[in-house]
Amino acid sequence: MLFAYWALAVGLALLTAGVVLIVLRRRAAGTGDTSERPKLERFSWISSIISMVTGLISTLIGLVPLLEEQGDAAPENTAPSQSPPRSGGAPEQERQCRSDWTPMASGMTAYQACTTLSEGGVALTARVQPTDLVTDTVQVTVWVWLMDRNPDLIESGQLDQTRDTATLNRCRVTLSGDEVQECGPFVVQPPHEGVFSTAGSVRENDSELPPGWDNPAFAGTQGPAVRWPEAISED
């Protein structure tokens, strides 16, 4: 890397020298022996051009390694989704996923919800893949949240009371072919003991909340339920 800085410094110096030679040649154009002026002008032009070309090449040689180093470091500051990933460190049990893929309303994507018990809470993951209707790439927004599987709330149709925006996460992903993309896992801590599951939705249009979020009849697509904090699966 020291060579890159050296080459950059030399290149800038040569470029500056070329510009100075051109300026001096213009100032001296009206003075001196006219019989020797054509030779001097040609020499001045050639010297200036050689200096500037050499300086440009040296500058490029110095810049390329510096730009490559910056490009390698840039991805460390990028985030793969709009929601923060779960904080690591908490050991997890085996992930439990819905046995089938559920087609979404648009028919363009299929959705599979996964739930995992963790010492830090419940880990939520949404898996999505394009259907046969997708012939090119498609961008979709995936929402995933924690659903309280309280039977009283579900049977009374108060599904809006089974979720909280504090547990809602979303990702914007690009799908193509038959690839599967994941949103999560996101570890959330349930507000109380009980049975919980991952729930989610997928749409092509992006928004902070999924369509139907405030509708008491909207539940999203659920994954397997788990009892928290006890490690007991509820099929």
Kindly state the helix (H) or strand (E) to which residue 195 belongs, with its residue range. Answer: strand 194-203
100 with 73, same domain?
Answer: no
CATH number at residue 206: 2.60.40
pLDDT for residue 78 is more than 70: no
Number of Cβ atoms within 10 Å of the Cβ of 89: 9
53 with 166, same domain?
Answer: no
- Could you give the CA distance from residue 100 to residue 103 in angstroms, rounded to a whole number? 10
The predicted pLDDT at position 87 comes to 35
Both structure tokens of 19: 């510009």
- Could you give the CA distance from residue 71 to residue 66 in angstroms, rounded to a whole number? 9
- Which tens digit of pLDDT belongs to each residue from 80-121? 333 333 333 334 568 899 889 999 877 889 999 999 998 889
Q: For the chain, how many structural domains are there in total? A: 2
Domain of residue 214, residue span: 96-234
Note the pTM of the prediction, 2 decimals. 0.59
Mean pLDDT (whole number) for 42-66 = 56
- Could you give the CA distance from residue 25 to residue 87 in angstroms, rounded to a whole number? 66
Q: Give 180's contacts (C-beta < 8 A, 6+ positions apart).
A: 127, 128, 129
- Which tens digit of pLDDT belongs to each residue from 160-169? 999 999 999 9
- Which tens digit of pLDDT belongs to each residue from 11-46? 566 656 665 556 556 665 555 555 555 554 555 556
